[in-house]
Amino acid sequence: MKMKYVLLLLMAWLLLTSCAGNRYTQTPSQNSSFRIKSLVLHFTSADYAQSVKYLVDKGSVSSHYLIPESDDPTYPHNELKIYQLVDENERAWHAGISYWQGRTALNDTSIGIEIVNDPECTVRNDVLIKPEHGEDRFCVFPDYDPKQIQLVIELAKDILDRHPDISPTAVIGHSDIAPSRKIDPGPRFPWYELYQEGIGAWYDFETLDKYWQLFSDNPTSIALLQRALMTYGYGLVETGIADTQTMNVVSAFQMHFLPSHVSGSADARTMAAVFALIEKYAPEKLTELVTRYESEVQTADNPATERYGQIDRTFTADDDTSETELSFVAYDKTGDFRIKASAATNADIYINEQRLNITLPITEQFRSYSLARRTIEGLNTVRVDNISNTDAELHLQVAYPTLSNAQVARQLPLDVSSFACRNSDFKGVLLVTHKGRIINHTPLGCNKTADVSFALGQQTSALATHLALMEMVHRGQIDLEAPLNSYLPEYSGQGRDAVRVQDVVAHRTGYLPTLSEYLAEEQMTLSDLLAEKRLLTELVLTQIPVRKVTQNNNPSKSEVNAIILGLLIERVSGQSLRDYISDKIYAQLGINKIGSDGADLEQMTYGHIGGQASVESIAKIAQLLLNMGGYGYYELIDRKSLSKFLKISSVANERGAGWQLNERHTSECLSRNDFGSFASSRAFGTFSENGLVLVDPELDLTITLLTNSRDEYLSDRYIPLLNQIYKALLQRQIHSKMN
């Protein structure tokens, strides 16, 4: 009876399951795919025992698999094993906030493998960085255990067999899918070894070389690199500037595909690797990128017209009379101009209504001529007339005044006994120019020669970073009135959105005087931070608190502002600060000594660390500013923009913060009058504990004083010297007029 009852129950169960199975009609769709799209590799940043605690115990993270390493004292077995922690059909919590190839929240569509590997990392104060379960930007990465990697290869092959929708480009690291947060599996992970076993993506070396040569000869823009990385799969926004998100993504890419070249910097090698990968794995997406690159190269070969000299004008036969006469400034019997002509067989050129004896036709290459026989002191005129052909053009450029190489026969007599050699350490040099001529060049202190270089100290901000910013404002690349975060997007929140570029120039940000005041004593110095540019960027742009900016805030000098301006210039230009200043400014002035000795130029421009310069080099910069923005055929900035910049830069109650104005209505606000008693109201300068640069357009005068002093009371000696220079010069002018 009992057996009969069991059989009846079994028959009923079979009937029910049979009905259920026939309940749905199967019509398989072709519009489907496998759920798993990515394989993500991690390192645990801990030993085996700690890794198990993180990944297994309730309340933390997880992963589908864990692979231990040999010689781990916390591993309890002799033989390495692959441990499955979560079924592949279930969701493990290993990816976090993530993105790859258009997908977010990759926990839903990926399998994660955690590999025991523990970098030796130093944890910094939270104000500097906030590590996630032991990860940190300052790590020494150990090699992976070869036995462990063989298990990774074995497991990865099995996973790829079970999940055919995981493409080669979807075998990725945690740093690839979360580059702003993660650095695992790190630069030591053997991605190329896995590729050789048929796991993951890698470029063909011949293709890499092809693109490397191409991009080395004709560099690409940051924007194109951003677009290429986005095309490959990374999550970032195309901003056209080398911002923090880009540095993070580039570092992640380099750790994966260029492990011996992890710099975070966009360069030809990195761009070549991205293009080589896209050509191999997504050739249909390559055409758009190549077309864009060719367009950039063409634009670079045909740059927008720049102005050279204080006059840069093309004349034609159809010009109105009012358009053919222009004015320029020169010193008496000095000056240069150059011309080139297209299809012109005849033209008359007049300087101060004196016709020049120039024979046409002139080649289409510029030919230079001296104006020394024609110019007068002050305002001069140039006129072009009688251009022969209606289709002819004559291009004329007039240079800004430059310093004369030869000193005048009679130097300005000065008493420099207050700078005498009282101790063997003190040295200095004074250089005074008037109307483009050197009228005093005197060694001070224990110097035997005036040909010596000095550290610039705090003046480097005005003589380097500010010049670069002026140049970029003039080119329309930076707007002083724009919010700073329009160029540095991460500079936002907690009052930062109100900060404009000009607020940083004017030190109206409320930062403490030095960066070291934000760092604990055991933390790194500014020099260390410069070696870790990503960390420096994160610190000054996102972590250091900013005080709410208002027009009534009293400015307070801070080297943090100088650092921010340096980062701004790098972002917008796509070059290092050192290269931009050297190539775009100093090289144009024939200056090559600044930063060549002592501190690196990049360090000297960040935070007033100091760099070496000769007094002659600084005098050229002073003459450029005396000319209100130009020197020779180089134009740094126009007169109107320079005046605006100087006004913004002038900090009423601080010395050494940039350029100061000597306007009479602000002198009562100055904590000290650095200009002495006789400087005109148009004078401006930069002053520090080791010297000064003073420019006085009213008298066509520049004064450069450099010393090796670090004496905050140096002004007690140099102010009487300034007064002496002015009085001696005025007496010379009075005597000249009387005779």
Q: What is the pLDDT of residues 125-157, one digit of tens each?
A: 443 333 343 333 467 789 999 999 999 999 999
Higher per-residue pLDDT: 493 or 147? 147
Contacts of 174 (CB under 8 A, 6+ apart): 40, 41, 42, 94, 95, 182, 184, 185
Rounded Cα gap, residues 83 and 624, in angstroms: 70
Asked if 367 contacts 338 with a C-beta cutoff of 8 angstroms, the reply is: yes
Predicted confidence at residue 231, as pLDDT, reads 96
Share of the chain above pLDDT 70, in %: 82
- 622 φ, ψ (degrees, to nearest 5): -60, -40
4-18, 158-172, 512-526: lowest mean pLDDT where?
4-18
Asked if 617 contacts 459 with a C-beta cutoff of 8 angstroms, the reply is: no
Statement: residue 173 has pLDDT above 90: yes
Predicted confidence at residue 149, as pLDDT, reads 97
Statement: residue 171 has pLDDT above 70: yes
Residue 197: pLDDT band (50, 70, 90) is very high
Statement: residue 283 has pLDDT above 60: yes
Rounded Cα gap, residues 388 and 344, in angstroms: 6
Full-model pTM:
0.66
Rounded Cα gap, residues 478 and 572, in angstroms: 8
Rounded Cα gap, residues 458 and 712, in angstroms: 12
**H runs (alpha helix) in 553-638:** 559-573, 577-581, 601-605, 615-626
Asked if 67 contacts 151 with a C-beta cutoff of 8 angstroms, the reply is: yes
Predicted confidence at residue 612, as pLDDT, reads 65
Higher per-residue pLDDT: 732 or 139? 732
Of 154, 229, 221, 149, the closest CA to residue 190 belongs to: 149
Predicted confidence at residue 708, as pLDDT, reads 83
Higher per-residue pLDDT: 735 or 656? 735
Residue 611: pLDDT band (50, 70, 90) is low
Statement: residue 299 has pLDDT above 70: no
- Sequence length of the chain is 739
* Average pLDDT over all residues of the chain: 83
Predicted confidence at residue 545, as pLDDT, reads 86
E-state strands within 129-206? 139-140, 171-173
The separation between CA 704 and the C-alpha centre of its own chain, rounded to angstroms, equals: 29
Higher per-residue pLDDT: 517 or 258? 258
Contacts of 13 (CB under 8 A, 6+ apart): none
Asked if 50 contacts 171 with a C-beta cutoff of 8 angstroms, the reply is: no
Highest mean pLDDT among 17-31, 367-381, 485-499, 665-679: 367-381
Share of the chain above pLDDT 90, in %: 44
Statement: residue 367 has pLDDT above 50: yes
Predicted confidence at residue 125, as pLDDT, reads 45
Q: What is the pLDDT of residues 307-345, one digit of tens each?
A: 899 999 998 888 876 677 899 999 999 999 999 887 766
- Host H or E run for residue 39: strand 38-43
Tell me the C-alpha to C-alpha distance, in Å, between residue 180 and each of 46, 100, 131, 134, 174.
21, 13, 11, 15, 10
Contacts of 452 (CB under 8 A, 6+ apart): 427, 429, 443, 614
Predicted confidence at residue 460, as pLDDT, reads 75
Predicted confidence at residue 263, as pLDDT, reads 81
Q: What is the pLDDT of residues 417-459, one digit of tens each?
A: 888 887 767 888 999 999 999 999 999 888 877 777 776 666 7
- Catalytic positions are 114
